Amino acid sequence: STMPPLLAAIATAGRHGVLVKSAEVMEQLGTITAVALDKTGTLTRGRPALTAVHVVDGRWDADAALAAAAAAEHSSEHPLARAIVAAARDRGLDLPPAAAFTARPGHGVRATVGGRVIEAGRPGEHPPDPVREIEDDGGTAVVVRADGFPVAVLAVHDALRPGAAGTVAALAARTPTPPVLLTGDNPRAAWRTADAVGIDDVHAGLLPADKVAAIERHRSNGDRVLVVGDGVNDAPALAAADVGAAMGQGGADLTLGAADVVVVRDDLTTLPALLDLAHRARRVVI
Ligand code: ADP
Ligand code: MG
């Protein structure tokens, strides 16, 4: 065809379910030297499921703690929140009304439920049992607190995406700097995932601003970084990247937002082919 090569490459990517914002983005994709991947929703399916409810002491029973956590999580779009709300519904629990909802990105949520301040989120400095066991098992522990005191620990597990290990190997073969894992999740769950997909460079326990700092560190070392994350929680990291790619969440969010690339088909395995396509288009241009 007579179409310019970068635009032809964008059209080809589109046919494979990958939306590329502009010719400039396609050109930058051809110069990427490092890929940084988020864990939850990127290397994993992003559809975690609740696997256990552990009460901390006898004051709250498991159903009451799960119902309160689900009520507090109800307005959150985080995959962990969806898992907790779905589990409460599956058990036929009535969700009490929640007021004064606040989400703290990278931490969790807080709301007033039944006259108490209910928090659900990251374990923090003095984790109650069995947080460590859950994390050693590759899970994420969500601690439920009432008026500041832990009342339950929820175990949530998220399966790897199909083809994740093969995709990481294929990306590693295409970039001089080995792939990097960036996650807000705990180091034990992060290393479980990293070992399963073959990543040796792991940054765990990161707040959204820490992800940005890690990307900027790579960029100041001369890397041109492709960041792959989910569009909602990882917006600052995607914006800090040379190219930010968002995994489409089941086709619901077709807007680009902070992303330069959206993997609309939500299939991680398209990324190595996208880099090849960008390389070829660049060679034609130059
Ligand atoms: P990731 O980088 O793995 O996508 P996030 O930055 O979204 O993780 O969240 C980091 C951590 O903060 C989570 O592992 C969890 O411990 C906690 N967290 C964030 N949002 C929530 C929420 N809505 N409910 C419970 N915990 C949360
Ligand atoms: Mg995420």
Task: Give the Å distance between the CA of 35 and the centre of ligand 1.
Answer: 22
Q: What is the DSSP letter of 218?
A: H
pLDDT of 251: 45
> Is 110 close to ligand 1, i.e. is its CB under 6 Å away?
no
Check if the beta carbon of residue 197 is closer than 8 Å to that of residue 224: no
Domain count, the chain: 2
**Residue 224 Ramachandran class (φ > 0 left, ψ -120 to 50 alpha, else beta):** beta
Residues 163 and 281 in one domain: yes
- The pair of structure tokens assigned to 262 is 């959206």
CATH label of the domain that carries residue 202: 3.40.50.1000
Residues 277 and 175 in one domain: yes
Residues 209 and 255 in one domain: yes
Q: What is the CB neighbour count within 10 angstroms for residue 218?
A: 21
User: CA-CA distance, 201 to 283, in Å (whole number)?
Assistant: 30
- The pair of structure tokens assigned to 23 is 């010719």
Residues 164 and 280 in one domain: yes
Residue at which a domain ends, from 157, 185, 217: 157
Cα distances (Å, whole numbers) of residue 66 to 46, 115, 230: 20, 16, 26
Residues 165 and 23 in one domain: yes
> Is 35 close to ligand 1, i.e. is its CB under 6 Å away?
no
Q: What is the DSSP letter of 160?
A: B
**Exposed / middle / buried, residue 82 (Cβ in 10 Å: 0-12, 13-18, 19+):** middle
> How many residues are present in the chain?
286
User: CA-CA distance, 24 to 7, in Å (whole number)?
Assistant: 10
> Residue 25's domain spans which residues?
5-45+159-285
Residue at which a domain ends, from 108, 130, 157: 157
Cα distances (Å, whole numbers) of residue 64 to 54, 100, 156: 12, 20, 18
3-class SS at 155? Answer: strand
Check if the beta carbon of residue 260 is closer than 8 Å to that of residue 245: yes
Residues 135 and 185 in one domain: no
Task: Give the Å distance between the CA of 214 and the centre of ligand 1.
Answer: 18
Per-residue pLDDT of the chain (286 residues; tens, 9 = 90+): 567 899 999 999 999 999 999 999 999 999 999 999 999 889 998 889 999 999 998 889 999 999 999 999 999 988 899 999 999 999 999 999 999 999 998 899 999 999 999 999 999 889 999 999 999 888 999 999 999 999 999 999 999 998 999 999 999 999 999 999 999 989 999 999 999 999 999 999 999 899 999 999 999 999 999 999 986 678 899 999 999 999 875 544 555 678 999 998 878 999 999 999 999 998 876 5
* Alpha helix positions (H), 225-270: 235-240
Residues 181 and 243 in one domain: yes
Residues 267 and 181 in one domain: yes
pLDDT of 252: 47
Which protein residues have a CB closer than 5 Å to ligand 2 (ion)? 38, 40-41, 230, 233
Q: What is the CB neighbour count within 10 angstroms for residue 180?
A: 21
> Is 188 close to ligand 1, i.e. is its CB under 6 Å away?
no
Residues 151 and 163 in one domain: no
Residues 148 and 265 in one domain: no
Nearest CA to ligand 1 atom 27: 108
> Is 78 close to ligand 1, i.e. is its CB under 6 Å away?
yes
Residues 140 and 210 in one domain: no
State whether the Cα torsion 139-177-37-211 is positive or negative: positive
Residue at which a domain ends, from 157, 182, 197: 157
User: CA-CA distance, 199 to 240, in Å (whole number)?
Assistant: 21
pLDDT of 57: 87
Q: Which helix (H) or strand (E) holds 28?
A: helix 23-29
Residues 202 and 63 in one domain: no
Beta strands in 138-235 (DSSP E): 140-146, 149-157, 180-182, 201-203, 225-230
Catalytic residues: 38
CATH label of the domain that carries residue 109: 3.40.1110.10
